[in-house]
Amino acid sequence: MSLRVAQSIAELRSLLAQARRTGKTIGLVPTMGSLHAGHGRLMELAREESGFVAVSIFVNPTQFNQQEDFHRYPREFEKDRQFCEALGVDCIFAPPVEEMYPRPGLTSVEVAVISETLCGPFRPGHFRGVATVVAKLLNIVQPDFAYFGEKDAQQLAVIQRMVEDLNLPVTIRPVATVREPDGLALSSRNKHLSAGERQAATVLYQALQAAERAIQAGERNAERVKQQAQKIFDKQPGARVEYFEIVNPADMQPVAEIQIAESQGAEIQNAVRVAGAIWVGSTRLIDNILVVPGER
């Protein structure tokens, strides 16, 4: 089947119903467009696991704190359509804003605690907008699987908890961050960087690596680990740190002491997520890594 583009919920549901009648599982990749290889990895995994792959392309106005950022967000639909077609996507759902929000919303989804740290204080209302639009997409599509990148780890944790708390019948598939050869996490925002800013932007991943090295060398005090990372930031005046934290991956709450990891069946206990946000020029970048601390 060739790639179809649906702009209305009714048209999308008709295409999904046809797929279900033939016994196909549904995989959803929610995006805001401006697609890159990181999104491509989500689509590849969806293609491997699902009989019918739907990609949503919707720049969601309710998750932007400033309207300037909403209007600035890159929109390249034809390029995105070709990108999806090359990866074997079955359907793009590209609704106009009035299709998703025909009236001012009186209902929203908010995931407490997880959304209150890291990006939360700097982007008030952002995660409420994210959780609400993802809940709407999951309800519209009703996929078997939905794919989200670990680069947006706090967003992923919010969505995972929302799905669990609301008993939504979907399996969330986390997908590892895709990076440039120098470690910079792929992001739609990277295209805003000048050549000099692009070079400066690598400092965030370097700081994350410094923190990981300190933890694996035996440092268990989170503040001292962050001090090691700060030494990396100090060498790059072109970047301004918004936050740099070591948190529990489940609830995104900062930890003071890092515990040695223990394996309990298929799960690893006491892993930590090291996460940061920086500004390079007028561009805000986020990144994180999961660290499993071992014995000294």
Known catalytic residues are 39
User: How many CA atoms are closer than 13 Å to the CA of 6, on its beta-carbon side?
Assistant: 21
**144 and 171 Cβ atoms separated by less than 8 Å:** yes
Strands ordered across the beta sheet of 283-291 = 240-247, 272-280, 283-291
Rounded Cα gap, residues 22 and 238, in angstroms: 54
What is the CA angle 111-114-118, rounded to 5? 130
Give strand ranges (E) for the chain.
4-6, 26-31, 52-57, 91-93, 145-149, 171-175, 240-247, 262-264, 267-269, 272-280, 283-291
Instruction: Please tell me what DSSP assigns to residue 123.
Output: S
Which uninterrupted H or E stretch holds 168?
A: none
Instruction: Please tell me what DSSP assigns to residue 107.
Output: -
In the structure encoding, which two tokens stand for residue 18, read together?
A: 């046809």
